[in-house]
Structure 1
Amino acid sequence: MSEITLVNANDLKEVIREEVRQAVGEALRERQLPILLSLQDAADLLGVSYTTVYRATKIQGFPVSHDFGHAKIVTDQLLQWIKSRSNYDLVYNFGS
């Protein structure tokens, strides 16, 4: 472990931000998600019921594809869709 001398609060914020960025990157590499999710996979990932995900597929703009015979959800678009409809920026970018 290396020693760090912090001069001010901004230095501390930057050190924390970098450590969090690295930790999130490692966690994402450990848990790779498939490009497409079935409705049940999406429900499991989000911790909601199949019915909730099925209803969400009816919302205009929800990232669902029917190109493969069954409804599939585009994973990265799903995460972005959720982020855009939540208060993510308010919570995680507060004061930035």
Structure 2
Amino acid sequence: MSEVIVTTATELEKFLDAAVDRAVSKVTQKRQLPILMTLKRTADELGVSYSTVYRASKIRGFPVNHDFGHAMVVSDQLLEWIKSRSNYDLVYNFGS
């Protein structure tokens, strides 16, 4: 690790912004989901059983696609579907 000398608040802010950007980039690269996931991969990513995801795939509005011969979950729509069915807004947008 190299030493960094910061002399102004602006330099400190730029340094911290760059460090945060690098950290966020590393995390998002590691947790990048594919566009389509099998039901098994979806279960693994969510930390639930395959049967739970299979049952959820039968719920109207669950983002599952059967165009490729077997059920595939659309990952970005899955995240939105989960948010819409949870108290996400109540928790994260409280008072806004």
State the TM-score, normalizing by the size of structure 1: 0.72
Q: How does 1:10-89 map to 2 (within 5 A)?
A: 25-26=24-25, 27-89=27-89
Aligned length: 81
In the alignment, the residues of structure 2 paired with residue 77 and residue 24 of structure 1 have an alpha-carbon distance, to the nearest angstrom, of: 25
Shift of 1:30: 3.5
Q: Against the structure 1 CA distance between its residues 34 and 60, is the aligned structure 2 distance closer, same or farther, given a 3 Å change threshold?
A: same
In the alignment, the residues of structure 2 paired with residue 92 and residue 25 of structure 1 have an alpha-carbon distance, to the nearest angstrom, of: 19
In the alignment, the residues of structure 1 paired with residue 22 and residue 37 of structure 2 have an alpha-carbon distance, to the nearest angstrom, of: 25
Shift of 1:28: 2.3
- Identify unmatched segments of 5+ residues in structure 2: 10-16
* Between 48-57 and 22-31, the greater mean CA deviation after superposition: 22-31
Name which one, 1 or 2, has greater alpha-carbon Rg: 2
Aligned to 1:15: none
Shift of 1:24: 8.8
Shift of 1:73: 0.2
Structure 1: 4+ residue segments shifted above 4 A: 1-4, 21-25
Shift of 1:23: 8.5
In the alignment, the residues of structure 1 paired with residue 88 and residue 31 of structure 2 have an alpha-carbon distance, to the nearest angstrom, of: 21
In the alignment, the residues of structure 1 paired with residue 52 and residue 77 of structure 2 have an alpha-carbon distance, to the nearest angstrom, of: 17
